[in-house]
Amino acid sequence: MSVNTKNAYGQISISDEAIAAVAGHAARECYGVVDMVSRRFTDYVSELLRKEQLTRGVKVETFGDRIFVDLYVLLKYGVNIAAVSDSLRESVKYNVEKFAGMIVDTINVNVIGIRL
């Protein structure tokens, strides 16, 4: 699916993969995030074969003009999980809204594990 909007210049359509790439890039830059991980083994195998790694660990769903993002992350050992999750939400929300010009409705942060 994609997010569609109209403005004075015409209709704009942004794919879910483009939104996922922006969200993945923003998530990787947050302090405390070590890596993004796949949700299922089949996703892991398919992502190994692709060149692009920005969308790994990011699931984007769009309904109308609303964007829903799920993030699957590995965090650094010793960080405050709640603080990193809040920072991650704010950073991804800001970057995706700035990129897409749409409202991000929900960002779910799923901490899969920690790494030393």
CATH number for 92: 3.30.70.1350
pLDDT of residue 44: 54
Distance CA 51, CA 68 (A): 25
Select the more confidently predicted residue: 7 or 66.
66
Could you write out the DSSP letters of every residue in 1-65? -EEEEEETTEEEEEEHHHHHHHHHHHHHTSTTEEEE--SSHHHHHHHHHSS--TTTTEEEEEETT
Report percent pLDDT > 70 for the chain: 87
Task: Provide the domain limits for residue 18.
Answer: 2-115
- Beta bridge pairs of residue 35: 74
Q: What is the mean pLDDT of the chain?
A: 85
In 3D space, the residue among 77, 84, 101, 81 whose CA is nearest the CA of residue 28 turns out to be: 84
Query: What is the mean pLDDT of the segment spanning 43-58?
Result: 66
Select the more confidently predicted residue: 2 or 81.
81
Q: What is the DSSP letter of 101?
A: -
What predicted TM-score, i.e. pTM, was given to this entire model? 0.83
What tokens appear for 115 in the block?
A: 């790494």
Could you give the C-alpha distances from 15 to 12, 19, 61, 99, in angstroms and in order?
A: 10, 7, 10, 12
Q: How confident is the model at residue 43 (pLDDT cuts 50, 70, 90)?
A: low
What is the count of structural domains for the chain?
A: 1
Q: How confident is the model at residue 26 (pLDDT cuts 50, 70, 90)?
A: very high
